[in-house]
Amino acid sequence: MKKDKSYGLGTRAVHGGVEFDPSTGAVMTPIYQTSTYAQEAPGVHKGFEYSRTANPTRQALEASLASLEGGKFGIAFASGMASISSLTQLFSSGDHIVCSDDVYGGTFRVFDKIYRNFGLKFSFVDTSDVKNIEAALTPDTKLLWLESPTNPTLKITDIAAAAKIAKSRGIMIGVDNTFMSPYFQSPLDLGADLVMHSTTKYIAGHSDLVGGAIITSDAQLAEKLHFVQNAAGAVPGPMDCFLTLRGIKTLHLRMERHERNAGKIFEFLKSRKTVKKIYYPGDPNHPGHDIQKKQARGFGAMISFDVETLDRANKLMSRLEIFTIAESLGGVESLIEHPAIMTHASVPPENRAALGITDGFIRLSIGVEDIDDLLEDLERGFEAI
């Protein structure tokens, strides 16, 4: 396929990055499970020398991801965290990074517990009010790191407004687009310099691998990231690249169904009087609803809600048959989790309280099962409370 942004996202999901295998014509990208490549003479080769540097299966995935995000370059990593960590390795001691205060816990952890030790400085601010970004910038600020929506309270940041502030000061802006996937949100079009994904989630979509990627249209930035990718070596293996490519082919079909199911579950939750609060950008009362409508093509399929007490949360969760109690998100199966005990246990209790993550707070990752079965399952849970 011509690498052309004018194709629709579904077409790009199926064809992006795919070149029929030159030696056999294989339609599916082969798994090049090899570490090294024969050279005709020293230095004379077909563009591949060693698989940390480049691998054909990985290259196909990188091209596919670039196509999906409307960017020129994709750089794949071993995990979402490996992507963020590799990006952070572009900076030097004394550099300052401004970051959303409600970012993925692992992002906070790698910044605070590892890169702080290397002399990098961080400010964690509520970026859903862009005035807070402006106030946090210093002459040393090199990167603005956003997540929208955030996890698990689904706060929305105006990406275009944030990008405008960053651009006016010559600061790089990166967006973790994991929760939306390229199907619903295109941060590069909103002014971001780079987009990052935990491909573990919606992009691969089947809860069967861990992976990550960064996409950019900036050739200089891509070159630096390729350098870190090869030098530091946090690369994904060919098998995981193949599985991610396979998952991508149905991204648009899955996202459509994920979201439709989520909308119905939101309506269900709204009708339950034991639900004290719902966190869902598709809720017209969500403070970020209008910005979400402006900058994204949908609301995604993550919904959090509060049933006030741990006892209720436990009773509800223990009755479910289809929703599985598990961390992670974005797979075909519906998952339910308790952030205070599970994904966000490492966030200090006072920070959790400030963010509204109470002991009755529950997060859903809504899958692609039949909606009637999902609703019946939740009904069963609510009967227990």
Ligand X SMILES: *Cc1c(COP(=O)(O)O)cnc(C)c1O
Residues that bind ligand X (CB under 6 A): 79-81, 104, 106-107, 147, 151, 176, 178-179, 198, 200-201, 210, 212
Residues serving a catalytic function are 52, 104, 176, 201
| Tokens 């090199």 found at | 142
Name the minimum Å distance from CB 84 to ligand X: 7
**76: which residues sit within 8 A by CB, 6+ positions away?**
58, 61, 62, 65, 199, 211, 212, 213, 229, 235, 236, 241, 244
- Comparing CB distances to ligand X, the nearer of 332 and 371 is 332
- At 199 the three-state DSSP class reads coil
- Comparing CB distances to ligand X, the nearer of 210 and 262 is 210
- Comparing CB distances to ligand X, the nearer of 57 and 198 is 198
- Residue 127 CA to residue 365 CA, distance in Å, equals 24
- Residue 372 CA to residue 315 CA, distance in Å, equals 21
- Comparing CB distances to ligand X, the nearer of 361 and 382 is 361
- Comparing CB distances to ligand X, the nearer of 49 and 112 is 112
Burial 55-66 (b: 16+ CB within 10 A, else e): bbbbbbbbbbbb
- Residue 111 CA to residue 60 CA, distance in Å, equals 30
Name the minimum Å distance from CB 66 to ligand X: 19
C-beta separation of 293 from 268 below 8 A: no
- Residue 224 CA to residue 245 CA, distance in Å, equals 24
| Tokens 């966190």 found at | 279
| Tokens 């591949």 found at | 48
Nearest in space to 342 (alpha carbons), one of 310, 384, 382: 310
C-beta separation of 3 from 59 below 8 A: no
- Comparing CB distances to ligand X, the nearer of 211 and 381 is 211
- Residue 334 CA to residue 325 CA, distance in Å, equals 9
- CA–chain centroid gap for 136, Å, is 24
Nearest in space to 206 (alpha carbons), one of 376, 365, 32: 365
Name the minimum Å distance from CB 320 to ligand X: 22
- At 254 the three-state DSSP class reads helix
Name the minimum Å distance from CB 48 to ligand X: 26
Name the minimum Å distance from CB 328 to ligand X: 7
Name the minimum Å distance from CB 213 to ligand X: 10
- Comparing CB distances to ligand X, the nearer of 201 and 312 is 201
Name the minimum Å distance from CB 294 to ligand X: 21
Residue nearest to ligand X (CB): 80
